[in-house]
Amino acid sequence: MHDLLGNLALGFHVAATPYNLLFCLIGALVGTLIGVLPGIGSVATIAMLLPITFGLPPVGALIMLAGIYYGAQYGGSTTSILVNIPGEATSVVTTLDGFQMAKQGRAGPALAIAAIGSFFAGCVATVLVAALGAPLTSAALLFGPAEYFSLMVLGLIFAVVLAKGSLIKALAMILAGLLMSMVGSDLETGVGRMTFDVPELSDGIGFVTVAMGVFGFAEIIRNLEGSAEDRSIVQAKVTGLMPTRKDLIDSAGAIGRGTIIGSILGILPGGGAVIASFAAYTFEKRFAKRPERFGNGAIEGVAAPESANNAAAQTAFIPLLTLGIPPNAVMALMVGAMTIHGIVPGPQVMTKQPELFWGMITSMWLGNLMLVVINLPLVGVWVSLLRVPYRLLYPAILVFCYIGIYSINNAPADVVIAAVFGVLGYLLVKHEFEPAPLILGFVLGPLMEENLRRAMLIARGDVTVFITRPISGTLIGIAVLLLVLAGLPMLRKRREEVFVE
């Protein structure tokens, strides 16, 4: 406990420097902005901004990127409530009751409760990350290559099981990602693999290039297909921000439950904020005394999912910072960001760079505070921003992407490679393949190969090592169990229910 306080104090010391406060503010603002704008996700934005962080100090860069992530969870609610379009996938369920509240002239309380809920969840999750960081890090020391490999397998399986749509397609996407990550020089021998003697490929395909293509470009191509009509805005009057006493009492329980559900689902690999918000809403509705109120402007229907997605967004950092394993696509991008700065994500971050670790954690709390303070007065600004037509927005995003990709290596070829991945991403969406598992596989590929190689070498070629070592065997066991459960028809039906939008 004493350690925890000491560590948090160190964190505040780092996070509260003027520069880092500024980065935190920028991150939170940018995050809110993209959260508000439908069609630009946090994954795409973080991918776009990765190259920019190159010139920043590592702590500042990571604080800013983290801010974008949780800021986006937050901003998404504004669009959901005011316009009935989820700004982010995590805010889909918020539209159900949030927009109803707005129609009844209660947009103010809805926004305020979303803010308060998010802030509360953010605070709890920050403490949780700080508290769980140390024990999990020491657990990580028990991990050998076999355990790491098995853990990554489990993480990928989690991502597959909880992803939307077909299991086998998601598995195939992971394999495709793993395969693509093999392009480039072999780590041990330095032989070029699948490079066709193209010099641009000898360093491998850049992660940012793939992410920007598959998410950024593909998303824009996809959006251009849709008509302009879904961007029309219902001009909701935002009057009387403050929720009533009754609102607060009604939503207090929902905020608490949402926070718990979100925190748990965020830690689990592959869980993440989207599932958390769905789960929290479903939970509230199922256990409510009068479930018929949901969908007609029940304030709990805003409070629970908004708390849950914020909590999950933050606890998702736990596996990344302690085990070095990204539980979702955004965290995979954070790995990219850390690697750019020469930081290897994993248990050693906490011991070797305590100021980075704790600085980032405390910045999350500060960031959440900033979000509450900046967002309530800014609601009007966000609403007017939604009037920028997409026909002007998309070329700007594109050009920004081009320069961003080009700036990483000053290599025009990278931009073209991203274009290839953009078209690929578009085709994937058209055939209902999810691109997120592909990215996760792409990031984990080199790590998995390395650990697989080492494990096999240590075990002298004995494949059973993954099952006979206790920790590794347990992890593989859970992974298999999950796959079997997800394959069962009953559960599959459940999954579909959860994702009916």
Partner 1 sequence: MSDEANAPTGARSLGVIRNPQDFYGGLALCALSLFAFWASDDLPGMRGFSFGPGTAPRIFAGVLLAFGVVITAMGFLTQGKPLERYAIRGPFWITVSIIVFANTVRPLGLVFATFVSFMISGLASPETRWVETTIAGVLMTALCVLLFVQLLALPFQLWPRF
Examine residue 499 and tell whether it contacts partner 1 (CB under 8 A): no
Examine residue 418 and tell whether it contacts partner 1 (CB under 8 A): yes
Site map for partner 1, 87-116, x if CB under 8 A?
Answer: ------------------------------
| Rounded-to-integer distance, Cα 140 and Cα 358, Å | 18
Residue 171 Cβ vs partner 1, minimum distance, rounded to whole Å: 6
Contacts of 321 (CB under 8 A, 6+ apart): 129, 133, 345, 349, 350, 357, 360
DSSP 8-state secondary structure symbol assigned to residue 52: G
Amino acid type, 215: F
**Can you tell me which of 171, 211, 313, 361 binds partner 1, judged by CB under 8 A?**
171
Residue 69 or 426: which CB sits closer to partner 1?
A: 426
**Can you tell me which of 286, 389, 464, 489 binds partner 1, judged by CB under 8 A?**
389
Query: By CB under 8 A, what part of segment 26-65 binds partner 1?
Result: 52, 55
Q: Near partner 1 by CB under 8 A, which window of 65-73, 264-272, 449-457, 492-500?
A: 449-457
- The answer to whether 179 and 460 are in contact (CB under 8 A) is no
Examine residue 224 and tell whether it contacts partner 1 (CB under 8 A): yes
**Can you tell me which of 342, 431, 464, 490 binds partner 1, judged by CB under 8 A?**
431
Q: Near partner 1 by CB under 8 A, which window of 66-74, 137-145, 170-178, 375-383?
A: 170-178
- The answer to whether 364 and 59 are in contact (CB under 8 A) is no
**Can you tell me which of 131, 139, 172, 378 binds partner 1, judged by CB under 8 A?**
172
Examine residue 286 and tell whether it contacts partner 1 (CB under 8 A): no
First to last CA, the chain: 43
Q: Near partner 1 by CB under 8 A, which window of 36-44, 213-221, 301-309, 379-387?
A: 213-221
**Can you tell me which of 141, 234, 242, 396 binds partner 1, judged by CB under 8 A?**
396
Residue 194 Cβ vs partner 1, minimum distance, rounded to whole Å: 4
Go through the chain and tell me how many residues it has.
501
* Alpha carbon separation from 485 to 272, 480, 495 (Å, rounded): 19, 9, 11
- The answer to whether 50 and 322 are in contact (CB under 8 A) is no
Examine residue 189 and tell whether it contacts partner 1 (CB under 8 A): yes
- The answer to whether 329 and 353 are in contact (CB under 8 A) is no
What are the start-end ranges of the H helices in 184-267?
207-211, 218-225, 245-267
- The answer to whether 309 and 273 are in contact (CB under 8 A) is yes
| Rounded-to-integer distance, Cα 108 and Cα 99, Å | 11
Examine residue 385 and tell whether it contacts partner 1 (CB under 8 A): no
Residue 164 or 453: which CB sits closer to partner 1?
A: 453
Residue 150 Cβ vs partner 1, minimum distance, rounded to whole Å: 16
**Can you tell me which of 5, 104, 186, 477 binds partner 1, judged by CB under 8 A?**
186
Residue 498 Cβ vs partner 1, minimum distance, rounded to whole Å: 20
Examine residue 208 and tell whether it contacts partner 1 (CB under 8 A): no
| Rounded-to-integer distance, Cα 160 and Cα 5, Å | 37
Q: Which residue is associated with the tokens 């018929």?
A: 292
Examine residue 487 and tell whether it contacts partner 1 (CB under 8 A): no
Query: By CB under 8 A, what part of segment 455-474 binds partner 1?
Result: 456-457, 460-462
User: 3-state DSSP helix/strand/coil percent for the chain, to nearest 5?
Assistant: 80, 0, 20
Examine residue 220 and tell whether it contacts partner 1 (CB under 8 A): yes
Examine residue 23 and tell whether it contacts partner 1 (CB under 8 A): no
**Can you tell me which of 142, 191, 490, 500 binds partner 1, judged by CB under 8 A?**
191
Q: Near partner 1 by CB under 8 A, which window of 232-240, 263-271, 412-420, 489-497?
A: 412-420
Residue 389 Cβ vs partner 1, minimum distance, rounded to whole Å: 7
Amino acid type, 34: I
**Can you tell me which of 22, 249, 416, 484 binds partner 1, judged by CB under 8 A?**
416
| Rounded-to-integer distance, Cα 78 and Cα 371, Å | 12
**Can you tell me which of 423, 471, 478, 498 binds partner 1, judged by CB under 8 A?**
423
Examine residue 433 and tell whether it contacts partner 1 (CB under 8 A): yes
Residue 123 Cβ vs partner 1, minimum distance, rounded to whole Å: 33
Closest by CA position to 199, among listed 214, 213, 185: 185
Counting Cα atoms < 13 Å in the Cβ hemisphere of 138 gives 4
Residue 112 or 163: which CB sits closer to partner 1?
A: 163
Contacts of 1 (CB under 8 A, 6+ apart): none
Contacts of 393 (CB under 8 A, 6+ apart): 37
**Can you tell me which of 1, 2, 3, 188 binds partner 1, judged by CB under 8 A?**
188
DSSP 8-state secondary structure symbol assigned to residue 243: P
- The answer to whether 116 and 255 are in contact (CB under 8 A) is yes
**Can you tell me which of 99, 148, 358, 426 binds partner 1, judged by CB under 8 A?**
426
Is the C-alpha dihedral spanning 398, 399, 400, 401 positive or negative? Answer: positive
- 398, two tokens: 């594109």
Helix (H, G, I), strand (E, B) or coil at 487: helix
**Binding residues vs partner 1 (CB under 8 A):** 52, 55, 166, 168-169, 171-172, 175-176, 178-179, 182, 186, 188-189, 191, 193-194, 196, 217, 220-221, 224-225, 228, 389-392, 394-396, 398-400, 402-403, 406-407, 410, 412-413, 415-416, 418-419, 422-423, 426-427, 430-433, 445, 449, 452-453, 456-457, 460-462
